[in-house]
Amino acid sequence: MSIAGGAFTFHGVPMKLMAESAFRHLATADNDRVLVILQMHGGNDGLNTFIPISDYDQYYFNRANIAIPYRSGNRTAIPLDSTLPGESRIGLHPDMRDFKELYDRGRVKIIQGVSYQNNNGSHFRGRDIWFMGGGSSDFFPSGWVGRYLSKEFEPLSYPEDFPNDNMPDPLALEMGNDVSLLFHQQSGIPVSLSLGSSPTSLANLIEELEGFSDEGVDPRGLPPAPLNISPYGKEMDWILNLEDKSETYIKRLQEVYERAPGPSVTYPDKYPFGGRRNPLSGQLQLVARLLDGGGQGVKTKVFLVKIGGFDTHAQQVEDYNPTLGGHSALLYHISSAMRAFQNDLKARGLEERVLTVTMSEFGRRVASNGSYGTDHGTGGSVMLFGRHVDPGVLGVNPDLSKSNIDMQYDYRQLNSIILRDWMGVDQNVISNDIFFGNYIDGPDPQGGSFEPLSLTRDVILGNDPFVSNRFHFEKLYPNPAKTETKAVIRLNDRQRISLGILGVSGKSIRKKVLELNPGRHEVTLDIRQIPEGNYFVSVHSDKLSKTHKLQIRR
């Protein structure tokens, strides 16, 4: 018999309740940071997510029937970042404008070519490998997050020592109805139990559970001898204890949820083209609200949210328009829901605490098939979202002369670095107890080496250099000036710019509005009719607001 945490539907979102057999007291944890894992179920096509504009002709040659337009058309790939080196330049799918907005704010990192050695392109095996934190020949009964939580909270035991005053909440929460290997403990026993379909029905179910008849020792019953001393009896005892804990947990979650205000931001409801509902919005709203809790949110460390539909063998795009279809809707759902989630966290004062990382069991092949789709591949892309990501693009565009996308980074290296740099786990614990090898930096067990990588950052300056390097009012020259001066402006997106000359009192003297494309621009200002004196020149747009002093001398 296998058992796990509590599966239930909480405010319309199916969830799993996670715990482990041995935990360290939360009081010994050195941060209150949270990790959200966003599972893209089915194998995402990274090439139509991040279009390799540096090699667009080869991209189009390999998948002409599904290729996203770049050079012409109404819906074309969105250039991501003009400051990237040529081999790394990419365009976003046209339905990822919200993703572009997050990137330009320094809230996104993209990692290209993520996989593991000997990826065989199997859904079930691939997911198990990503969840267990192993390689293609490993068969661990536990998951890497389960092992992390086991070490983080030892030596306390679940369920005997939980909940407690320092940790009243589930250690991890999983959305959906599946029991993921991700959270299994070393013994291999999953920790999820299906309990009900809503908070109300769950509470009623907990109160009405019936077990074997007994002598009043336990109102839910104990198995009769000799079962109570057999492995079956021990597992029944585990179940009964888990039911007690689940009742406490669901009541606690309900209280926290009801204390928190609803979101002040609007989460996306539907894909604009075709009306497909966004399956992430409800999940992410729930995570934000539980973490808020009216200032007393849950201390849960890891959340798993899910979105499916990425197994796009056929009709990945509409045959009449490659920018529309099922895959387009999924990319819209992720980018729009994640932007709302980040804005929601910021409004609740939680943005500093939460990091989101995506996972998908594999990528798709370089060439499309005849069914307007793509088949199982190997390397894919990973996205990180959050206030503390080290933003930008890691890795180069894939070699499109090959049928599959090469691995540039082992997924275990990324997750190891997240555990060390974000969750504060000791590197020796990561190597010895979680991933069973040093995947952070140093020699690769399968050849090669792991170069040191930066995925997150602790200190963020008020004038974030990532943002200012891409949206910047660099200077005025000449300055002092006689008849004209030039405003040097750098943009990483098409922007409607308001360029004005102001007096020292702030009164507007002259103003012009321009539509400028990405790149570096020199805009000439005629100042012949303006008297000598001291002034200010301001540049303002959605993503840029800066002022320089100007002296007019004749």
**312-358 residue pLDDT tens:** 999 999 999 999 999 999 999 999 999 999 999 999 999 999 999 99
- pLDDT above 50 for 9: yes
Give the range with max mean pLDDT: 140-144, 150-154, 173-177: 140-144
pLDDT band of residue 22 (cuts 50, 70, 90) is very low
Lowest mean pLDDT among 117-131, 187-201, 350-364: 187-201
Q: Superfamily assignment of 471-552 in CATH?
A: Macroglobulin (MG2) domain (2.60.40.1930)
The percent of residues above 90 in pLDDT, for the chain, comes to 66
CA dist 439 and 451 (Å) reads: 10
pLDDT of residue 238: 53
| Residues 283, 267: Cα–Cα separation, whole Å | 11
Go through 235-273 and write b for each residue having 16 or more CB atoms within 10 A of its CB, e for each that does not. ebebbbebbebbbebbebbbebbeebeebebebbeebeb
Q: Are the beta carbons of 319 and 263 closer than 8 angstroms?
A: no
In our burial notation (b when 16+ CB lie closer than 10 A, e otherwise), range 64-86 reads eebbbbbeeeebbbbbbbeebee
d(CA 423, CA 434): 13
Q: What integer is the mean pLDDT of 175-199? A: 58
Check pLDDT > 80 for residue 252.
yes
Q: Between 26 and 178, where is the model more confident?
A: 178
**Higher pLDDT, residue 250 or 186:** 250
Is residue 199 predicted with pLDDT exceeding 60? Answer: no
> For the segment 478-529, what is each residue's pLDDT rounded down to a tens digit?
999 999 999 999 999 889 999 999 999 999 999 999 999 999 999 999 999 9
- Angle (CA) 404-410-414 rounded to 5° is 130
Confidence of residue 235 (pLDDT cuts 50, 70, 90): low
Average pLDDT for the chain: 85
Q: Which tokens hold the place of 160?
A: 């005997």
List the domain boundaries for the chain: 6-162+195-409+426-450, 471-552
For residues 236 and 464, which has the higher predicted lDDT (pLDDT)? 464
Q: What is the pLDDT of residue 430?
A: 97
Q: How confident is the model at residue 178 (pLDDT cuts 50, 70, 90)?
A: low
The per-residue pLDDT for 80 is 96
Q: Which position has the higher pLDDT, 207 or 298?
A: 298
Across 163-192, average pLDDT: 75
| Model confidence at 193: pLDDT above 60 | no
pLDDT per residue over 258-277, tens digit each?
Answer: 999 999 999 999 999 988 99
